[in-house]
Structure 1
């Protein structure tokens, strides 16, 4: 995104006046409300999501925070580690050892960390935000509640888990030793449960561990050589023509019988199969033994201690694997290509590569001592270039799937649009363009990825953003296309303020206020805190849960944190008269 003072052109005073509350009582109240919402959202997850027995975080939380499923989803583990670490690193209120240890150790059994330490804030009565004057979402800290099978741990004392959240990932996330994959879901104790044919688990592990390393000042989470896992056989380098290395004997006089004779490796042939010879069992023909009744489940673990060689390389290794998979190695993900499968690239994958590249590259505003990283910059550039391929028809549409060459695909697959992904692409490209100093790219991102999606993605009848749309106006085939989800609205808030900081306009401010009013009125839960994730088209709550396999401690907290930072930048550019 553009730096401070960028875009000091026409319209700055009017836009700043709207944002700073000169009309309708705007941004000091909006900024304060965003700060309070951020505090409440993080407090909700701190109270309810930490597992004091095994480490890591629960994400399947009911409306009141009770755990309805103790499955742990890996990409949500990495996301929550990222949120805690970024808050600790950038917000003075959250710069406390408890929060950083929560990223490492999964939290405290009896809460008591962030709660009670909110920023001083008096809730004003806004004519445009009447429901915000109800601070009912700050209940006292309580231990995690379970709807069934409560864990056995002391409830009258603070219980510090023994397994760090970051180390929980390092210990359990791989489905088997030596694998370059990360599981999608784990049992509560860390046993791998299932794998997805995508790289989002690996990507968010890389994001979370890199941010944890920056917050903790520990390089082992971020950089280093590729790890060699226990049990990995030593690599044997073959000689010219594929010959094995020369074997020599003990050179001592009593054993010095001279060099071994050189065998004609190229002329050797396999022995003939005689009658009665049992079939040879090779590695690719081995199958796992059947599990008999009463057989205890096998737990695959390895040493995650700080002294484990190469443990700190996992974030980097996963990031490199994500980039490689995105560039065309689907077989490694278990995704076969058939003769009729059209070559395609998904916008979500290009966004993920851009996001990981920006994370590893580091933000000069937050990391003034950050060293140049050409590999991370190249990764971000690759992601940005492929994101732009999805802008089609003169930048009037943003398609979810295009060909590897950036051409439209036939059928409903090629016409699919997701306003949330387009708006997420907007602020990511604004971030990239700001670091590169590319004002033209930033202007294109605002026009095609902010103003466009908010025009064709907004529901004119009920308000809010559709989940999916068809570029030609047909009914999308996705059953949930008309639902209103939390994360597109969170991304839209970030995108609008990023655009306003880059290129101030009154229209952007108006759209932000409209979007903020809808989002806080519809998604926010005034009774228990945090946001509902899934609304019907008319804005009523479709699912009352606060978390699940896809919603955790990430989009809400990240969006509110970024909005708070950008509002500070905007207000600093032109403060209201005293």
Structure 2
């Protein structure tokens, strides 16, 4: 691999395209927070505010301030979003809502524990940037609340009949593996170790099925396979994203075996999810090859490809596995020839199977200022680390 071929591309896209797009079009200067429903040109087409995306954008600008450059405009953007969240984001019990109207009035109950996850990330980064105790308290208090809800994340908002086909979802244990590293310095070391050990075991031994070569989205509480729509569901992008979380944990603990195992699983997943006809990675698949329940199963999504690029680069950095280099080149070529919008900036999010934009929006209910900038940053820095490693070995 020749990292110097790509470093400027990822850095330039982050700092001169994607971040300026969101800085220009997203802030709500009247009510606070961010507009995330932006059309191709960046014009607001809906003013509802979704907590996932509000928190993620606060995190993004605070992270850039902490790790790239102490630009005051980045910190001010993060602080503005945080102020809106502090005023409007939580119910009386401290749970974070799913959505608000433009003025901050709640629209949808706090049914999603991922609002809490992203709030933890946001205020953890802001504490690093400012040292303000109130941000630390919000981050840690929310994290402890997540752990309390871990066994029953949806609580009273669950639609399932109690006891009827109980299933555990991959999403929460996956994200906890990353979340605990985000706020590690704010937590007791024993708790950090416990969450990490449990997370690695859950991801690698419960949801990953070596006999199938995939990570399942849902399993029975004992880890067994459920032959149902939910139990057969594979989201290759989710599995691939989780593998760079595993690699970060492996780096933290100098666990070379875990790093190599994560690489092996990542290669299995990208080979499994790759569309052999049109290229790109499928959104959803049925592990038995049955028709998926999700009608959007064959779409090609921005975040799936961005997370895959991160995983492949980190895999190459940590192990030197040439399969990572091969697949990085392949996924990079597909991603950069389909998702970036050279006319109006930022990236398209949703392509059909043939790779044509289904929607030209740059942000909506699910796509915001997160996966693209985080991915560009991670790839840029990982490529620099690979370059340094190569230089040392010459």
TM bucket normalised to smaller: over 0.9
- State the shift of 1:55 in Å: 1.1
3-state SS, counterpart of residue 40 of structure 2: coil
| CA RMSD of superposed structures (Å) | 1.9
| Cα pair distance change 1:329/1:190, threshold 3 Å | closer
Aligned residue among 123, 133, 148 for 1:219: 133
- State the shift of 1:327 in Å: 2.4
Matched, 1:500 2:324: no
1:77-156 alignment, distance < 5 Å: 77-92=54-69, 95-105=70-80
Q: Quote the residue 2:270 is aligned against.
A: 454
| Cα pair distance change 1:395/1:430, threshold 3 Å | farther
- Return the alpha-carbon distance in structure 2 between the equivalents of residues 395 and 185 of structure 1: 37
Matched, 1:57 2:34: yes
3-state SS, counterpart of residue 347 of structure 2: coil
Aligned residue among 173, 195, 214 for 2:89: 173
Residue pair 1:356, 1:380 contacting (<8 A) in 2 also? no
Matched, 1:380 2:196: yes
Residue pair 2:120, 2:140 contacting (<8 A) in 1 also? yes
Matched, 1:552 2:375: no
3-state SS, counterpart of residue 68 of structure 1: strand
Q: Quote the residue 1:327 is aligned against.
A: 151
- Return the alpha-carbon distance in structure 1 between the equivalents of residues 300 and 65 of structure 2: 31
Q: Computing the radius of gyration over CA atoms, which structure comes out larger, 1 or 2?
A: 1
- Return the alpha-carbon distance in structure 2 between the equivalents of residues 437 and 507 of structure 1: 22
Residue pair 1:322, 1:353 contacting (<8 A) in 2 also? no
Residue pair 1:467, 1:485 contacting (<8 A) in 2 also? yes
Q: Quote the residue 1:29 is aligned against.
A: 5
Residue pair 1:344, 1:402 contacting (<8 A) in 2 also? yes
Matched, 1:210 2:124: yes
- State the shift of 1:339 in Å: 4.8
Q: Quote the residue 2:173 is aligned against.
A: 350
| Cα pair distance change 1:477/1:337, threshold 3 Å | closer
- Return the alpha-carbon distance in structure 1 between the equivalents of residues 140 and 182 of structure 2: 11
Aligned residue among 157, 164, 169 for 1:341: 164
Question: Per-residue displacement from partner, 1:456-487 (whole Å, max 9, x unpaired)?
Answer: 10000000000001111222121000000110
Question: Per-residue displacement from partner, 1:425-444 (whole Å, max 9, x unpaired)?
Answer: 10001111221222222221
TM-score, normalising length from structure 1?
Answer: 0.65
Matched, 1:441 2:258: yes
Q: Quote the residue 2:242 is aligned against.
A: 425
Question: Per-residue displacement from partner, 1:311-345 (whole Å, max 9, x unpaired)?
Answer: xx2221211122222223643x5215525521211
- Return the alpha-carbon distance in structure 1 between the equivalents of residues 163 and 222 of structure 2: 18
1:254-269 alignment, distance < 5 Å: none
Question: Per-residue displacement from partner, 1:389-442 (whole Å, max 9, x unpaired)?
Answer: 111143612111011221111222211100100001100011112212222222
* Runs (5+) with no aligned partner, structure 2: none
- State the shift of 1:577 in Å: 12
Matched, 1:195 2:170: no
| Cα pair distance change 1:405/1:426, threshold 3 Å | same
- State the shift of 1:215 in Å: 1.6
Residue pair 1:104, 1:166 contacting (<8 A) in 2 also? yes
472-481 vs 492-501, which moves further: 472-481
Question: Per-residue displacement from partner, 1:507-554 (whole Å, max 9, x unpaired)?
Answer: 211211111111011000001111000000000000010000100000
Q: Quote the residue 2:44 is aligned against.
A: 67
Residue pair 2:180, 2:195 contacting (<8 A) in 1 also? yes
Q: Quote the residue 2:183 is aligned against.
A: 360
- Return the alpha-carbon distance in structure 1 between the equivalents of residues 320 and 288 of structure 2: 32
4+ residue segments displaced more than 6 Å: none
| Cα pair distance change 1:372/1:197, threshold 3 Å | closer
Residue pair 2:95, 2:110 contacting (<8 A) in 1 also? no
